Amino acid sequence: MAEPTPEVTTTPATTTDTDKLKALLVALGHDVEAEWDHLIALVQKAF
């Protein structure tokens, strides 16, 4: 039997580290400035 999925709550400890996210996107060759607003909107929509 599968374990129940724990409820996810947003706390300061679980918020997205934007500096790490930007660094990852730059490393992957993304134009961060052009995509940033869109990415933030997607993250907020997901939570």
pLDDT in tens, 5-39: 656 555 555 556 778 887 887 788 767 777 778 88
Give the chain's domain count.
1
* Amino acid at the residue 36: W
Does a structural domain hold residue 5? no
22 and 32 Cβ atoms separated by less than 8 Å: yes
Does a structural domain hold residue 2? no
pLDDT at 1 over 60: no
Residues spanned by the domain of 44: 17-47
Q: Is 36 exposed, middle or buried (0-12, 13-18, 19+ CB in 10 A)?
A: middle
For helices 32-46 and 18-27, angle between their N-to-C axes, nearest 10 degrees: 130
- Strand stretches in 1-47, DSSP E: none
Does a structural domain hold residue 6? no
pLDDT at position 13 is 52
pLDDT at position 42 is 86
Q: How far apart are CA 30 and CA 17, in angstroms?
A: 17
Q: pTM for the full model? A: 0.33
Does a structural domain hold residue 31? yes
Does a structural domain hold residue 43? yes
